[in-house]
Amino acid sequence: MNVVLKTGSSIDIEQEHIDELATKLRGQLLTESDKSYDEVRQLWNGMHNKKPALIIRCCGVADVVSSVRFARHHNILVSIRAGGHNVSGSASNDGGMMIDLSLMKGIRVNPDKKTVHAQGGVTWGDLDSETQVFNMVAPGGVVSTTGIAGLTLGGGLGWLRKKYGLSIDNLISVDMVTAEGKCIRASKTENTDLFWAIRGGGGNFGVVTSFEYQLHPLGPMVTLCAPFYPAEEAKDILPRWKKFAEASPDEVSTTAMFWTIPPVPNFPEEVHGRRVLILTAVHCGSPVEGEKVLQPLRELSRPLVDLSTPIPWMVLQGMFDPFFPKGEQLYYFKSKYLNALDDKTIDAILPKAIAPPQTMILIAIWHIGGAMSRISDEETAFMGRQSSYLFSVDAIWTGEENSEKVISYAREFLDDLKAYSPGGLYVNFSGLGEEGEDLVKEAYGDNYKRLASVKSSFDPDNFFHLNQNIKPG
């Protein structure tokens, strides 16, 4: 079998060696000749059509160890897929080996200790389903089909960021398979430098096979605020949203989003195709208190649509899922932190936010504060906690013929905002990572040197480099 190496060249590996690896696995070894190969290799982002020579569908840690050791022995190009939800496509590769954790779905909740252990293939929908049995939650993302692994290792922004912080702020420990194929644990008392690094440093340091999170009481109901205002009123509305956001209690996390109402039955026909500003906010306390606290956001003008309501946490977490289907659309998410949301910044945002080249492009302004901002940038690898806002272009479109225009729009939009940014970005929203080392250094700022040192300790040969790559120092 012809397999691509880490160096970029390729070799033929004798079939008997492939067969020997297969006999060691409890899971599956797939090649292009297998019927399920095309279905399994598909990533969430339809932009990517990569074809690994080998896909290892791991059923447990032993399978991960066998795969890593085999790949290391033969110097094979390796990528790691957990939820497969990453925009950049780095979860797969052409011609190498994909180590696929998506079958590793084990979850164990300890309601007495208020903790949960979850394997690397778990999604946030999977995790919420188990923890909500006990009316508890681990802070995660905003789309239930997102994998816990990628989101957590990059930081983990979600609806509970002001009350309970990022996903990494609730991480107690991880189990990891290193580049040498060894099983280790990292926590605040074990491999402490590694534990610091994986909280924001991505998949640079090994294959994380399980996560342990601190749980918090929540649910089953929270309060959603979601008035849809005409986008042309944004210049008047955004300063008042900013005032609300910055004065709001920790129970409220809010994001302002520019979007186009799609022609689906969920929305009145008369508003189909309208560009809107949605002031989305979630209150994670008492629904009675939540309705009262969020009411001002519903009165800033006359909404075209208002989806505000008390809502089960599980329903809230799945609300965006239909608009982010796997393999059916192309995605390019790019981000930048903002100094503030003053009049000049708003004026710089509005022209492109109101008139995107494709209707389904989402522009999001995430308010940052509360619990996630009370942790210093030095305490974890994640950077950006002290910024007031994160701005992201979540480009969504169909048709490869539109790709160049959409991606250019996103890049130009971020360039327009350089004067209003302290620098930095959210690594989970880093486009295709096309800027390479410059992007990673910008994302981690002063933490980059320490991250490179940890990389040297745990992956000195840069075996795991298909990621937002931190080169060994």
Render pLDDT for 297-348 as a digit per residue (tens, 0 to 9): 999 999 999 999 999 999 999 998 998 999 999 999 999 999 999 999 999 9
* The pLDDT value given to residue 466: 97
* The pLDDT value given to residue 196: 98
Task: With a cut of 90, say whether residue 94 has pLDDT above it.
Answer: yes
For a pLDDT cut of 70, what percent of the chain falls above it? 100
3-state secondary structure of 411: helix
* The pLDDT value given to residue 86: 83
Render pLDDT for 458-471 as a digit per residue (tens, 0 to 9): 999 999 999 999 99
E strand or H helix that includes residue 463: none
| pLDDT category of residue 67 using cuts at 50, 70 and 90 | very high
* The pLDDT value given to residue 219: 85
| pLDDT category of residue 375 using cuts at 50, 70 and 90 | very high
Render pLDDT for 113-167 as a digit per residue (tens, 0 to 9): 999 999 999 999 999 999 999 999 999 999 999 999 999 999 999 999 999 999 9
| pLDDT category of residue 429 using cuts at 50, 70 and 90 | very high
Cut 0.95: pTM above it: yes
Task: With a cut of 90, say whether residue 93 has pLDDT above it.
Answer: yes
* The pLDDT value given to residue 330: 97
Tell me: cis bond preceding 220? Omega within 30 of 0 counts.
Answer: yes
* Cα–Cα distance measured from residue 210 to residue 448, given in angstroms and rounded to the nearest whole number: 25
What is the average pLDDT value for the chain, to the nearest integer?
97
In order, the DSSP letters of 90-121 are TT--SSSEEEE-TT---EEEETTTTEEEEETT
Task: With a cut of 90, say whether residue 269 has pLDDT above it.
Answer: yes
* The pLDDT value given to residue 406: 98
Which residues neighbour 98 within 8 Å (Cβ) at sequence distance 6 or greater?
A: 41, 52, 54, 55, 56, 78, 79, 80, 81, 91, 92
Render pLDDT for 200-231 as a digit per residue (tens, 0 to 9): 999 999 999 999 999 999 989 999 999 999 99
Q: Are 162 and 372 in contact (CB under 8 A)?
A: yes
Q: Are 64 and 83 in contact (CB under 8 A)?
A: no
Which residues neighbour 288 within 8 Å (Cβ) at sequence distance 6 or greater?
A: none
Task: With a cut of 90, say whether residue 389 has pLDDT above it.
Answer: yes
